[in-house]
Amino acid sequence: MIKFFRKIRQRLLTENKFSKYLLYAIGEIVLVVIGILIALQINNWNQKKLEQVALTGYLNSISKNIKEDIKKAEFLRTNRVNVITRIPHMTWTMIRSDYLERTDIKFASETLSAISNFDYFTADLSGFESIKNSGYLRELQGQDIENLIYKYYNLVQEITIKEKDYNEILRNAYSDFSSKGFEKIIYITYPDYIGDKQELTNLQPYLKDILFHPTAIALYNQTYLKGPALIVQLENLNIIGNEIVRMIDNNIQTFDDSTAKNLEGFFDTSGTVGYSKVLTNGAENGKFFNTGFASAGNKPFEMIYGINEYTIDVPKNEWTVVYFRNPSNALIERPTKDYSCYKTLKLELKGDKGGETVSVALKDADAPDDGSETKVPLTLSSKWETYEIPLSEFKPTNLKELFIVASLILIDDANKISVRNIEYVK
């Protein structure tokens, strides 16, 4: 093409047609400029493609790191839940037992061992540090994925600090317990060393002195009260992490229709919304709830914290109620939380014989204590069953200001039931 223009230019000059020559000269310049612009565009396109490849590589590294983080966080969360759900049986049932069986000693030994593991969550930060140092993180500036990644790693930092504090508290409590120099503690550490029935009987006062010593009780309480906050944070980490992985693996940088659903389980511990898991494996969440009870005529009854279940054993009575409420607050008579975002109350229950009727009720801040709250009756089986109650059935209870988040009311001869889980579902 350029040779063609040169020939025309030579001919025009020869023929003394300057105006036409000027026109073709301008055309030649324009052609050169267009060529340069195309070359620059191709170069920019190639550079952009290389940057996109690099950015994708960094994001894939983050996705890989987070997938491993999620496995570790879930393993640690499961262990913490298992330890915490052991504590009520240790402190409420075994301490009242007249005689500790061999299985009780093994249970206590396993519990103390689990408490003293001092596990830490350690996230893999290599992908995140690499993308920050490379400068490629600016390519995501203003995108939803950038905000979510920062939220994830800020939460990692928060968990790291809380894990350190939590384990330091437990380590000090365990040190106090261990420093007492208990006689016969070898039989707690290695319960298989206990011989026949007579030896177990002879060891009873020593075993109880060890397992229910004030330093041991302090160790159990620290685990029970401090652990739930970390469990919630580990759950939050998994929720955010799974969404980041989904977005990266599908090359999504802005929130789509699935995001809100995937992130709805995130719980703000300092917010106004109530926590969903009231009872887990027979243990209340001591950070978010208190248990209370009452009965007609103040008749005594027994609450038994078994292994992964909670049993209410009452004599025949007009009514008996066990309830779970928001924690006491010296400044607020009836502290409330907002449960209006949830749709269903899910309970896992069983009766002692089957056929027992138990009523489920909620109570808002303004409800009187006269039994007039809305009740939903359930007929139980002798086997574990899951019951799902739409929250709309508790009208006119104000779910935005819920004070008692669940109560179980037993009447007449429905005198022994067990509960494993109580949970709100969105």
The whole-angstrom separation of Cα 82 and Cα 69 is 20
The whole-angstrom separation of Cα 165 and Cα 229 is 12
Identity of residue 267: F
Give the Cα-Cα-Cα angle 166, 169, 171 (nearest 5 degrees): 105
Buried residues in 282-293 as b, exposed as e (16+ CB within 10 A): bbbbbbbbeeee
Predicted confidence at residue 39, as pLDDT, reads: 63
Predicted confidence at residue 20, as pLDDT, reads: 58
The whole-angstrom separation of Cα 180 and Cα 189 is 15
Contact assessment for residue 145 and residue 247, using Cβ atoms and an 8 Å cutoff: yes
Lowest-confidence region among 38-47, 162-171, 224-233, 351-360: 38-47
Buried residues in 133-163 as b, exposed as e (16+ CB within 10 A): eeebbebbeeebbeebbeebbebbeebeeeb
Of 237, 226, 215, 219, whose CA–CA distance to 159 is shortest?
237
Q: Which helix (H) or strand (E) holds 42?
A: helix 18-88
- Which of residues 108 and 307 earns the better pLDDT score? 108
Phi and psi (nearest 5°) for 202? -65, -30
Q: Which helix (H) or strand (E) holds 321?
A: strand 317-325
Predicted confidence at residue 296, as pLDDT, reads: 85
Contact assessment for residue 116 and residue 174, using Cβ atoms and an 8 Å cutoff: yes
Could you read off the pLDDT of 276-325 as tens digits, one per residue?
999 999 988 888 999 998 888 887 877 888 888 989 888 877 888 999 99
Identity of residue 102: R
Helix (H/G/I), strand (E/B), else coil: 342: coil
Q: Which helix (H) or strand (E) holds 278?
A: strand 277-280
pLDDT at residue 16 tops 80: no
Contact assessment for residue 373 and residue 363, using Cβ atoms and an 8 Å cutoff: yes
Cβ–Cβ contacts within 10 Å for residue 306, how many? 14
For residue 118, the 8-state DSSP code is -
Q: Render 59-110 in DSSP notation, one character per residue.
A: HHHHHHHHHHHHHHHHHHHHHHHHHHHHHHIIIIIGGG-SS--HHHHHHHHH
How would you classify the pairing of strands 357-364 and 375-379?
A: antiparallel
- Residue 168: band (very low, low, confident or very high) from pLDDT cuts 50, 70, 90: very high
pLDDT at residue 135 tops 70: yes
The whole-angstrom separation of Cα 13 and Cα 11 is 5
Helix (H/G/I), strand (E/B), else coil: 314: coil
Could you read off the pLDDT of 399-417 as tens digits, one per residue?
999 999 999 999 876 678 9
- Classify burial at 374, counting beta carbons within 10 Å of its beta carbon; exposed 0-12, middle 13-18, buried 19 or more: middle
- Which of residues 81 and 15 earns the better pLDDT score? 81
Identity of residue 110: E
Phi and psi (nearest 5°) for 387? -115, 130
The whole-angstrom separation of Cα 134 and Cα 127 is 11
Beta strands in 375-426 (DSSP E): 375-379, 385-390, 402-412, 416-425
CA contacts within 13 A on the Cβ side of 8: 15
The overall average pLDDT reported for the chain is 88
CA contacts within 13 A on the Cβ side of 336: 17
Can you give the pTM of this predicted structure?
Answer: 0.83
Helix/strand number for the chain, H first, E second: 9, 12
Alpha helices in 190-348 (DSSP H): 197-211, 214-249, 257-263
The whole-angstrom separation of Cα 206 and Cα 8 is 113
How would you classify the pairing of strands 283-284 and 277-280?
A: antiparallel
- Which of residues 344 and 331 earns the better pLDDT score? 344
Q: Which helix (H) or strand (E) holds 371?
A: none
